[in-house]
Chains A and B, each alone.
Chain A
Amino acid sequence: MIIIYFINLFNNVLVWLNSVLPNASVLPWGIDATMVSGIGYLRFFTAYFPPLGTLLSAFALYLIFILGIKLIRLFPIIRNILD
C-alpha cells in the first residue's frame, strides 16, 4: 500500500539522480582495468595459499569501512552524530 508508494517514490529520485550524476559503475582513470588484472594476480596466489585470501579480504573490508566512514562524514547530520 502506502509503503510501496513511498519506496517507489524514493526509488524515482534515485533513478533520476543516477541519470544526472556521472556513471559510477567503473572506476575512473584506468584504475578499473589495472585492478582487474592486478587483483587477478592476487587471486592466483590466494588459490595456492588461502590464508592470504582471508587477509586480503579483511584488509579490503577495512579499507571499505574507512572510505565509507569518510564518505558519510561529508553529510553534516551524520558527522554530528558520529562526533
Chain B
Amino acid sequence: MKKKKKISQYGTKVSRTKLWQEFRKIGFQKNAPNTIKRYFLPLFLILLFTGFWVYPQVIRASPSTITTNASLSISGDFRQTDLTTGTCYIHVAGLCTDWTDYSTCAEAGSSSFPCSDTYNLGSWGNGQYSVFYGPNFTPSTYVFEPVYSSDGIWSLVNLGLIPSICNSQTTETDCTFYPSCEWSGTTGACYYNSSTALTIPTDTCSEFDYACKVKNYFTWFFTDSPAQIGSGLNSVYLNFFQMFPIGYITRFKSLLLDDTLTPALEPPAISYTPGTSITDHTSIFGTFTFQPFNHMDITNTITEDTNGGTRNVWDIFMPYWNTMVYLSLGIVILIKLLNLGTDYYQEQMENGEGPMANRIEPAPKYYKVKK
C-alpha cells in the first residue's frame, strides 16, 4: 500500500503568485526565510524602482535649460517717493542668527546708486538671503527654492527625496521676498517697502530646483558628508516618530516630559469675581483672571549650612532622590524585559501551588488526540 503523504500541521502549501514563481525559478532569495521574501524583498524592489527609475525620469522631464550654477537677477524701482536726488543705499543681508534682529545678519553685499535711477540688484548665487533693510526695516526671509507639490504620488519624490538631498534644510519655500531701502540723512517711504512683496517668476525659481536636482543626483555617488548623513537620519527619526500610531506615543511623551513645548504648559487661568452684599449693586472690579504660574515663587530659600554655601535644599537632595528613583525604574524595566518575576508565579500556578492556585481552574482538555 502506498504510504500517504504526510501533511504539515500548518496546512497545505499556499499557492504563490506568478511573480513569486518567477523569482523562485531564477533562484532569487531561494534560501531566505519567508518573512524576507514576502515583506522585505518587495519593499527593496520598490525602493530600487523609486530610486533608479522614477528619479531620472523627473530629471529627464525637466526643461533643457538646466544650469548648474544658477543665479537670480532682481531689478526694481527702489527709489523713495519724496527724494529724487542724492545717493540711495541698498543692503542685502545674508544668513541671520536671529531672524528678528537684522544686526545679527551677515551682510552679503551693499551698493549705492543715484536716487533718481532704477537700481538693478544684479545676480546672486544660489542660497539663502534674507532682507533688504532700511529705516522701516522688517526682517523677512526669502529662499531660493521652489514650492514642491505635496499631492499624490509626487510627494514621494518632492517632499522626500529632493529636500533631503538639497543642502538647504529650511522649510521656507516661497519665492517671495520683501525689500526695503535706505538712504542717507533723509527719512521717507520707499516705493518698495517691507510690506510690498516682490515675487520671483516661477521660471527663475525653478532654475534652482533643477540645478539642485542635477547637482545632487550626480554627486550622490561620489561625495559624502557626515552632515548629510546626520541630516538624513534626523529626518528619518522625525518621520518615524511622527508616524501613526507611534506619533501618539511621541506626543504623549512630549506632554508628560518635554519642558520646551510651546506654548508652555500651564494650568488653566484662575478667574475671580468679587462679591457684594449690597442689593442690586455690581462690583466695579468685575471679573479678573490671572495665571498662577506668573505669581509664584519656588520656596528654595533654605541654603546649606556652611559658609558661602549657595545650594538650596533641593540642590542637595534631588541628585540622591533621582538616582534612587531611576535606578529602581531601570531594575523594574530589566525584570520586565527578562521575564523574571513572572516565571515564578507561572510555575506556581502550573503546579497548583501558591496564593492564586485555588482561584484559577485548570485548563480543560478539549482537544482530541489522533491515533
Contacts and interface: CB of A to CB of B under 8 A. Distances in A.
Interface of A: 1-19, 21-28, 32, 35-37, 39-41, 43-44, 47-48, 50-51, 54-58, 60-62, 64-69, 71, 76-77
5 contacts: A5-B220, A12-B50, A58-B328, A64-B252, A67-B252
Interface stretch (B15-23, B130-138, B318-326, B345-353): B318-326
B256 interface: yes
A44 B252 contact: no
B228 A50 contact: no
The 6 closest A-B pairs by CB, nearest first: A24-B247, A12-B160, A14-B239, A7-B232, A21-B244, A15-B160
Interface of B: 35, 43, 46-47, 50-51, 150, 155-157, 159-161, 164-165, 220-224, 228-229, 232-233, 235-236, 239-240, 242-253, 255-257, 265-268, 292-293, 296, 298-299, 314, 317-318, 321-322, 325-326, 328-329, 332-333, 336
B224 A4 contact: yes
B255 A8 contact: no
B51 to A, nearest CB: 5
Given A8-B164, A61-B329, 16 more contacts: A1-B220, A4-B220, A4-B224, A8-B160, A11-B160, A11-B236, A12-B160, A19-B155, A23-B247, A24-B245, A41-B267, A43-B265, A48-B299, A54-B322, A54-B326, A68-B249
Contacts of A2: 221
B224 A3 contact: yes
A31 to B, nearest CB: 9
Nearest to A12: B160
B266 A62 contact: no
Nearest to B317: A51
A58 B267 contact: no
A43 B265 CA distance: 8
Contacts of A18: 239, 242-244
Given A24-B245, A39-B265, A43-B265, A19 B150 contact: yes
A4 B242 contact: no
B363 to A, nearest CB: 19
Nearest to B313: A50
A58 B245 CA distance: 23
B255 A37 contact: no
Contacts of A6: 47
A24 B267 contact: no
Contacts of B328: 58
Contact of A25 (B251, B326, B329): B251
B232 A4 contact: yes
B284 to A, nearest CB: 31
A10 to B, nearest CB: 6
A58 to B, nearest CB: 5
Nearest to B245: A24
Contacts of A9: 47, 50-51, 161
A43 B256 CA distance: 9
Contact of B293 (A10, A15, A44, A61): A44
A60 B47 contact: no
Given A25-B242, A40-B265, A40-B267, A1 B224 contact: yes
Contacts of A69: 336
Contact of A15 (B159, B251, B332, B336): B159
Contacts of A77: 35
Given A9-B47, A44-B292, A58 B255 contact: no
A11 B235 CA distance: 7
Contact of B248 (A17, A24, A48): A24
B249 A47 contact: no
Given A37-B267, A71-B249, A21 B243 contact: yes
Given A5-B220, A19-B155, A55-B325, A11 B239 contact: yes
Nearest to B251: A27
Contact of B318 (A13, A16, A51): A51
Contacts of A17: 243
B160 A24 contact: no
A29 B51 CA distance: 39
Given A4-B232, A24-B251, A48-B298, A14 B332 contact: no
